[in-house]
Structure 1
Amino acid sequence: MTKKPKKAKKPFDYPILLTVIILVAFGTIMVFSASFYYAQMRWGDKYYFFKRQCLWAVVGFLAMAFTANLDYWRLKKFSKLLLMLSIALLVAVLFVGVERNNAKRWLNIGGLSVQPSEIAKFALVLFLADSMSQRKDKMKYFFKGVVPYLLVTGILFGLIMMQPNMSTAGSLVLLVMVMLFVAGARLWHLGFLVAAGAAGAAVLIRAAEYRMDRWIAFWDPWKDPLETGYQIIQSLYSLGAGGLFGMGLGESRQKYLYIPYPETDFIFAIIGEELGFVGCTLLITLFVALIWRGLRIAITAPDLFGCLLAAGIISMIGIQSVINIAVVTASMPPTGLPLPFISFGGSSLAIFMASIGVLLNISKYAKAS
């Protein structure tokens, strides 16, 4: 069992805190810029998305303040409970979830729209960190060490795929792979899982027509420019129009109902159009700085639980950021993953900020690097 770390030796990692504040503030501004036209057309209120994003940002800051001041090892006692709760919510969304674009991914709770898969990601990270830190001697064995976590991941993966939501399910698998590596799983075990995962992904893509269409559109979007290739083409138009310095904040043309989901999945394209290559580079630099500081905390964590928890949290953010930007730049097939801290999305923003709070708490106990 992991020993409780001694009293905190230093304050929070302020560079991470400052970076997140900048990202959230910038994201809120960009949500308004990207959404005001559609919000006015759809709801008669150009501040519709902006007000909701501000509300969730406040919720997120409160959650971050709470978790930053909660000793991280106390979360161990809630790991199994939170995992079971997330499974229950994933089951519930299949029956009473809100359907949007032929997918059930949201629950209405107290007038708020919550995405259970976002809760499931953090719950899985916490559970794996707790369990792996207690079973570290077994992690080099495939059946005794790796397989039990594949079974748990498989349950979440299956429930998320039933929504359907392959992008989130896939990011979950990548997240688990990172945590298995950090926990000490053998490289040839991970190599086998990568090969098996690639084969499984190919089967899942071919099993659904819309996924196959997206795959084909990724390789040749101009083959069907008005349907399957439309998102990719419009995204590239946005990025190309921005040039080096952009058209100016609020001056995007693509957000006028040309590019789909400008405030969520494709907000990075609007950033590129309005702020140009320079703006995109600065944003990516912030994410790189955040990931680097997070990895530094994981490396200097006082115990294995803290190391795994920090690594899982920063990997959760890093994987999703890379996938979102890769999709917008046509570097991988279209998915439905938002850009952390930037895209419109209430539960996603709140969960990411609460996770950062945990990371900040771990940083208080980190050993000198």
Structure 2
Amino acid sequence: MFKRLKITDYDFKLVAFIIAINVIGNLAVGSANPLYVKKELLGSILGFFLMVVVSLFDYNVILKFHWLWYFICCGLLIAVLVAGHASHNATRWFNIFGITFQPSETAKIMLIIFFAQFIMKYREKINTLMFLASYFVLCGIPMGLIYKQPDMSTTIVVATLVLSVLFVSGISWKLIIGAITVAIPSSIIFLSMILKEDQTLLKDYQRKRILSFFYPEKYVDNAYQQANSVIAIGSGGLMGKGLNNNEITSLKNGR
């Protein structure tokens, strides 16, 4: 179950990159809002510790229990709907001794492990209707639970993850092209439907969130992140404004 590792077995170049990214991230967060530094730093330390612990396990053993990870994932997503902490009309978190835990974030890792092993186990059948039907049903259960919270953005992220795993598995290009051929007109029809004010497919805030991506000027309140990103780039330029300077001004002035 545990691997006998020597210190020389670690890829220190990779470890150095991970540490560098965390340092840059903590500096950036601290520059934007010092109140979040302690939480960000704690997350970095905990993540580094977990990285070392997980590296001691034989990954084949982890993959062996892929169904366990899947059921734990779904169990946590069900539990958060029943006994989770509600905030802003969404029930996505557990609040344990003042520490907020979001199961959908853990679900991403568990689902990658599960579907990677699921595909490895049945890789000779990946182009069959039975396999694909099973795959999408298994995808749909956790995605449906996440959407129920409601958390559309994470649902889309999870969908992207599981489709990416399927894509790199070696699935037939005929199936991929066929799926794209169906997806493009379906997306156009879907967008044309949600443009209508009286549509019932999505909740109003979800509809506005999607439309704000295409029409940020019309849905300013819902395009807050996009708008501020553009303003920040215009204000800081290519070189930025340095640490501990989180002021942004108009894009026109660019100062």
Specify the TM-score bucket, using the shorter chain as the normaliser. 0.7 to 0.9
Q: 1:108 to 1:87 in 2, by over 3 A?
A: same
Could you tell me which residue of structure 2 aligns to residue 93 of structure 1? 80
Distance, in Å, in 1 between the alignment partners of 2:130 and 2:4 is 35
- Equivalent in the alignment of 1:151: 137
Aligned to 1:217: 212
On the 8 A contact 2:216/2:227 being kept in 1, the answer is yes
State the partner residue of 1:118.
105
Change beyond 3 A, Cα 1:183–1:75: same
Which of 215, 235, 239 does residue 241 from structure 1 map onto? 235
Change beyond 3 A, Cα 1:133–1:106: same
1: CA distance between counterparts of 2:53 and 2:171?
A: 33
The residue type paired with residue 71 of structure 1 is D
C-alpha separation in 2, matches of 1:211 and 1:162: 13
2:19 is aligned, of 18, 21, 42, to 21
Q: 1:320-335, aligned counterparts within 5 Å?
A: none
In structure 1, the partner of 2:33 is 35
Q: In the TM superposition, what is the alpha-carbon distance from 1:116 to its structure 2 partner?
A: 0.6
Q: Give the 3-state SS of the residue equivalent to 1:221 in structure 2.
A: coil
Which residue matches 1:362?
none
Cα 1:106–1:150 change in 2 (3 A) is same
1:189 and 1:8 mapped to 2: Cα distance? 42
Given that residues 177 and 190 in structure 1 are in contact (C-alpha distance below 8 angstroms), is that contact kept between their aligned partners in structure 2? Answer: no
Give the superposition deviation at 1:224: 4.2
Q: 1:109 — aligned with what?
A: 96
Is 1:168 the counterpart of 2:154 in the alignment?
yes
Q: Which runs of 5+ in 1 are unaligned?
A: 1-5, 37-45, 259-272, 275-369
State the SS of the aligned residue for 1:249. Answer: coil
Aligned equivalent of 1:71: 58
Contact 2:91–2:149 (CA<8 Å) still a contact in 1? yes
Using CA pairs below 8 Å that are at least 6 residues apart, which structure has the higher relative contact order? 1
Cα offset, 1:181, TM superposition = 2.2
User: C-alpha distance in 2, partners of 1:22/1:132?
Assistant: 34
SS of the equivalent of 2:238 reads coil
Alignment of 1:121-136 (within 5 A): 121-136=108-123
CA gap of 1:25–1:145, structure 2 versus 1, over 3 A, is: same
**Number of residue pairs matched?**
240
Q: CA deviation at 1:193?
A: 3.8
Match of 1:189 in 2: 175
Specify the code of the residue in structure 2 equivalent to 1:127: F
Residues 1:183 and 1:242: Cα distance change in structure 2 (over 3 Å): same
The residue number in structure 1 matching 2:197 is none
| Change in 2 beyond 3 A, CA 1:224/1:181 | closer
Q: Distance in 1 between matches of 2:97 and 2:41?
A: 18
In structure 2, the CA distance between the partners of 1:67 and 1:194, relative to structure 1 (3 Å rule), is farther
| Identity level (%) | 31
Measure the CA separation in 1 of the matches of 2:88 and 2:182: 30
Structure 2 counterpart of 1:162, which letter?
Answer: K
Shift of 1:184: 2.2
1:222 is paired with a residue of what secondary structure? coil
Cα distance in 1 for residues equivalent to 2:142 and 2:15: 30
| Contact preservation (8 Å) 1:160, 1:169 | yes
Listed as ranges, the gaps of 5+ residues in structure 2 are 195-200
- Aligned twin of 2:198: none
Looking at CA atoms only, which structure, 1 or 2, has the larger radius of gyration?
2
Q: 2:245 aligns with which of 245, 251, 261?
A: 251
On the 8 A contact 1:217/1:224 being kept in 2, the answer is yes
- 1:217-258 CA distance string (max 9 Å, x none): 222322244x2344322221111101121111111114xxx9
Code of the residue aligned with 1:83 in structure 2: it is Y
| Equivalent-residue separation in structure 1 for 2:231 and 2:126 (angstroms) | 47
Output the TM-score relative to the length of structure 2.
0.83
